Chains A and B, each alone.
Chain A
Amino acid sequence: MAAHRCGLSLVCILIFSTPAPAPARDQFQEELVIRPLHSGDIYASFQFRTLWDTDFLQERQKKVSHYRLFPKSLGQVLSKFSVRELHISFTQGFWRTMQWGQPFIPSPPGAELWVWFHHTVSDVDGNWKELTNVLSGIFCASLNFIDMTNTVQPSASFKPLGLGNATDHRFLRYATLPREIVCTENLTPWKKLLPCGSKAGLAVLMKSEKLFHSSFHSQAVHIRPICQDEQCTSKAWELRQTLNVVFDHYTSGQGKKEWSLFKMFSRTLTEACPLASSSKVYVDITDNPELSPATHLLSRAVVLGDRRTYSVYDLTRAETFGQLRSFNLLLRWKGDNMLRPLLHAERYVAGFGLQTGEIHTVIYNNHPYRAFPVLLMDSVPWYLQLYVHTLTVTSKSRDNKPSYIHYQPAKDRHRPHLLEMLIQLPPHSMTEVTVQFERALLKWTEYTPDPNHGFYVGSSVVSALVPSMVAMSTNFTQDQPLFSSFVPVKEESSYFVRVYTEPLLVNLPTPDFSMPYNVICLTCTVVAVGYGSFYNLLTRTFQVDEPSPPLAKRLANFIRRIRGVPLLA
């Protein structure tokens, strides 16, 4: 009781001694976009954005110490390692472009991390190594396996998505871990970075049992500096947390093209996050699905070269939740038409045996009359030794010479291969890039505990400015929906897209790990038997030994000795 009273007085003192808080210069927005796909699956994309008007990298200012909406763990990481841009994603499953179209924010299977450091950093590699270790602790992932053997420095791909003019690629590092597993232990710290956690707002829907029972699940964190206003005179830091999930028509949808929030997430929305300045749900109604509850708010946006119409539900308004104080969406559709994606890529390994092979990357340009260039980036681990003289690029069965090639050969156990090419794709064609390789024999300790599973090769990245049929808007407005404002649009006639291919799984010649034991046993046995026999032959002398006579003879000899008669033989 004394403790309670003291506690209360302490609290009273606290309330009276803190002054009025400084005006808030950070804001938080959340949105959910639901897009029905023609195959019966449904695509849900969550985006949470925290905008903060501060500067982590300014030395003149006092160090930032008051964090409100921006998570402190990430803020401290950014200032300690002088990070200009950070993009990290964890994905389970592969995005099927031909069936689902283009995602809002693409990501390769496994874990991907690419970082632009500030130009004041003197030791980029040291900062990169420490940054991966710190991030592995924050996200409970094995990012500490990122080291020099799987980090590359792309020379033309992965330009910064944020503000800035200097693009010296010495400050860029890119790495993927295709083997990385994504599960609840990665989602838990990701949810804890949100201002409202998983207690209010859209994050209430994120229950791992439903999210991981899907065809595709990707969670990402993107941090970059962006324009604070339309005039773009000052910078603000943007933290975007995105979660893309595609629920399967058959395993989660029971085979019906009828979905609701409850069916997808086993939860309904009850309130918006109180710390959010805007909290919206967008539903793609371009193909005229049946939607209930109906809403009059509509929004038209040009996303990925396509003009789409969205129904908007504003969760900050109480009437969205109705009488039952809960918001559940019901969506039903029948249509089958889908916009064919203009750019699509595949990759596979050809060949047989455990010595050589061939990597084929196939890029499809489905535009009927326009040709456009694409930048293909391939990062192959050192144990697949590429023969660059066998590199061929063919389009429509004719040789297609790339206008830019950057190749950095691998150094065994030190650096992977990096191949970047700018290829012009003819209209309505298929371009094939092939390169032969030889598999290396690894050292005994370099094999994983399950080497017969195979070794992964990370996805290739195809970046392109695809010509758009519909004019894109280059204006930047504050109330633009988040899903259309991720990639900055510089010109109206094309949009930037990044397509990831499948990762490859190759078998390396694997030794039989029980062999050393077998060899030692066999060798020791042979040596013991052989040496032992020789030793005996050389060092022992042989004598004839009389066997002991049988009992009857012994008895007879005894009696004869008593009688004094000569003994038997």
Chain B
Amino acid sequence: MSNDFLQMHLKAVMSCLVIFLYKVHTTKAGQFFSSGHTNNWAVLVCTSRFWFNYRHVANTLSVYRSVKRLGIPDSHIVLMLADDMACNYRNPRPATVFSHKNMELNVYGDDVEVDYRGYEVTVENFLRVLTGRLPPSTPRSKRLLSDDRSNILIYLTGHGGNGFLKFQDSEEISNMELADAFEQMWQKRRYNELLFIIDTCQGASMYERFYSPNLMALASSQVGEDSLSHQPDLAIGVHLMDKYTFYLLEFLEEVHPASQANMNDLFKVCPQSQCVSTPGHRTDLFQRDPGSVLITDFFGSVRKVEITKDTINLTSPVEPPIQRSGSGDIQIESLTYVDQLPVAEIIHQKPKQKDWHPPDGFILGLWTLILLVFFQTYGIKHLKHIF
């Protein structure tokens, strides 16, 4: 009888615990603490050059726009555009990039900061940004300064094939290189979770080879399928966007920073009836259940708020620099501007004394040869006559 009572007691306790845990899990605080990241980064890359690839730039800019709107600041976004479409001479509306025909939505905007542009978008630079192995003089805006608590969104678009993505019509990145770069990032603890989205032909081949943990990937088409473009605009003369990113943008426009939409909704974006190609996704390397991952975990930005009740004493301010009168007596004589074109001075300019360099290897070799031949012919005994 005590056994039964114990079992019943245990069951009651267990059910209470389960109910309590369930409540924690579904409250906002519970979800806040279950994601595990403290900052968000985004790397958005458009790899195509030339005016007829306008749609790839529009794709990247629409994701940039959504990501900025949901809270990620410019300092945490690395935007790489391989060509300039907005101020291209063929653009009938300069400083604009449209995503809808009839010029409804200008995704370029007035406040855009492109970090890598034109010829700087190369496979090498992309991999260096991901792995962090950049030359020391690279400015901060061109670096991906993520840590082990960063959630990174990587978006690639352009022309691709089975296992590769073409950069600027002159080089390719293979799926193995990408997988190795992500492994390097994992080993250097450069990300907490990574969402990889690719909108190219046969995009699913690019995520086939991933092997690092905490990666989730989405692609616009399966191997053997082409991703299609959405709609041309007759005034601009080119196709404005790709189908997958168009519907992705439509989906993201509904998302706001407090939205509870999760990854399962993202996987449903653009089914085959709308996209013609079959979008694919890969979640086996991801530890959490996609249904519990919020869209804003990757597209939005976490703002950590710490509430404190202590008062903080500020230190005394910086002293103003020494007054001008103290150092003024050193410069009594008036300063003058330099003559912009001093003709007399220029004509009589002495030629610069060139620095003396030691003779080149060729000259040294030539002289050695001449001396060798001389001494071989005439013998060493002549040496003392010379020196």
Residues of A within 8 A of B (CB): 2-3, 6, 9-10, 13-14, 17-19, 22, 53-54, 60-62, 64-66, 92, 129-130, 133-134, 136-138, 140-142, 144-145, 155-156, 159-165, 167, 179, 181-185, 188-189, 207-209, 211-213, 227, 231-235, 373, 375, 403-404, 422, 448-450, 463-465, 487-488, 490, 496, 513
Contacts and interface: CB of A to CB of B under 8 A. Distances in A.
Contacts of A450: 49-50, 169
Size category, B interface: 35 or more
Contacts of A165: 335-336, 338
A404 B346 CA distance: 7
Interface in B290-327: 305, 307-309, 311-314, 317-322, 324, 327
A258 B98 CA distance: 30
A6 B113 contact: no
Contacts of B334: 231-233
Given A13-B311, A184-B110, A234 B117 contact: no
Contacts of B93: 209, 213
B137 A185 contact: no
What 8 pairs between A and B have smallest CB-CB spacing? A137-B139, A488-B337, A183-B87, A22-B320, A212-B95, A133-B137, A449-B168, A449-B170
Contacts of B138: 133, 137
B328 interface: yes
A496 B341 contact: yes
B242 to A, nearest CB: 21
Contacts of A496: 340-341
Contacts of B352: 155
Nearest to B106: A209
Contacts of B87: 92, 181-184, 212
Contacts of B142: 136-137
A422 B110 contact: no
B349 A156 contact: yes
A140 B141 contact: yes
A183 B137 contact: no
A92 B88 CA distance: 11
Contact of B114 (A61, A140, A164, A373): A140
B167 to A, nearest CB: 8
B139 A138 contact: yes
B26 interface: no
A227 B84 CA distance: 42
Contact of A232 (B319, B335, B339): B335
Given A212-B95, A233-B331, A183 B169 contact: no
A317 to B, nearest CB: 30
B73 interface: no
Contact of A233 (B137, B335, B342): B335
A233 B340 contact: no
A238 B339 CA distance: 19
B13 interface: no
A3 B95 contact: no
Nearest to A23: B320
B356 interface: no
B111 interface: yes
Contact of A164 (B141, B321, B335): B335
Contact of A61 (B168, B321, B328): B321
Given A6-B308, A231-B334, A496-B341, A185 B113 contact: yes
Contact of A465 (B118, B337, B341): B341
Given A64-B321, A133-B137, A140-B113, A184 B95 contact: yes
Interface string B27-40: 00000000000000
Nearest to A373: B343
B137 A54 contact: no
Contacts of B313: 17
24 contacts: A3-B305, A13-B312, A13-B314, A61-B322, A133-B139, A136-B142, A137-B140, A140-B115, A140-B117, A140-B141, A142-B118, A183-B87, A189-B113, A211-B95, A212-B87, A213-B93, A227-B335, A227-B337, A231-B334, A235-B335, A404-B349, A449-B168, A449-B169, A490-B340
A465 B321 CA distance: 40
A17 B347 contact: no
Nearest to A513: B170
Contacts of A136: 139, 142
Contact of B120 (A14, A53, A144, A487): A144
Nearest to B135: A133
Given A156-B349, A227-B335, A463 B340 contact: yes
Contact of A6 (B111, B168, B309): B309
Contacts of A235: 335
Nearest to A9: B311
A403 B347 contact: yes
A169 B342 CA distance: 14
B305 A185 contact: no
Contacts of B322: 60-61
A236 to B, nearest CB: 10
B332 interface: yes
B96 interface: yes
Given A13-B312, A142-B119, A182-B87, A159 B339 contact: yes
A234 B347 contact: no
A132 B359 CA distance: 33
B94 interface: yes
